[in-house]
Amino acid sequence: MAPRQALPERSLPECTRNAPAPLPPAVRRSENRRGRAVPERAWGWPFPSVLIGTRAALSFQPIRPLASRKSTALSLLCAALLALPRSAAADELETAHEPYFYKGYDYGSQALYGPLWVFLNRGYDVLQDRAGSRNITDLEYRHNGETVARNLLNPFPAISQRGWGRFFREEILPLSYTKSSARWVPNYTLHLIGGGVTYTALTEWFQQNHVPAPRAFSAGTLLLTAMLNETLENKGVHPYNTDAIADFFFFDIGGIVLFSFDWPNEFFSKRLIIADWSLQPSFTYPNYELHNQGNYFAVKWPLPVYPRLRLFATMGLGTTFGLSYQLDSQYSISGGAGSMASRLIRTSDKNADNDIELAATAGIFVDRNDSLLASLRVTNVQDYFLQFNLYPNAFTVPELGLWTVVDKGGHFVTGVSYSKSFGVGAGIGSLGN
Residue 34 in this model has a pLDDT that exceeds 80 = no
**Per-residue pLDDT tens for 378-406?**
999 999 999 999 999 998 778 999 999 99
Length of the chain: 433
Alpha helix (H) ranges present in 62-141? 69-81, 83-90, 115-123
Residue 19 in this model has a pLDDT that exceeds 90 = no
Tell me, rounded to whole angstroms, the distance of Cα 73 from its chain centroid.
Answer: 23
Specify the pairing of strand 37-41 against strand 289-291: unpaired
pTM of the entire predicted model? 0.80
String of DSSP letters for 245-285: HIIIIIIIHHHHHHTTSHHHHHIIIIISEEEE-----EEEE
**Per-residue pLDDT tens for 98-150?**
999 999 999 999 999 999 999 999 999 999 987 778 999 999 999 999 999 99
Q: Where are the beta strands (DSSP E) in 229-370?
A: 273-276, 282-285, 289-291, 297-303, 306-315, 318-326, 331-346, 354-368
Asked whether the beta carbons of 318 and 361 are under 8 A apart, the reply is yes
Mean pLDDT value across residues 10-31:
43
**Per-residue pLDDT tens for 76-94?**
555 555 545 444 444 544 4
* C-alpha dihedral (99, 102, 104, 109), degrees to nearest 10: 150
Q: Is the dihedral of CA 232, 234, 237, 239 positive or negative?
A: negative
Share of the chain above pLDDT 70, in %: 78
**Rounded Cα distance, 265 and 259, in Å:** 6
**Main-chain phi, psi angles of 376, to 5 degrees:** -135, 120
**Rounded Cα distance, 36 and 58, in Å:** 42
**Rounded Cα distance, 254 and 269, in Å:** 19
- Average pLDDT over the chain, rounded to whole? 83
**Rounded Cα distance, 195 and 259, in Å:** 9
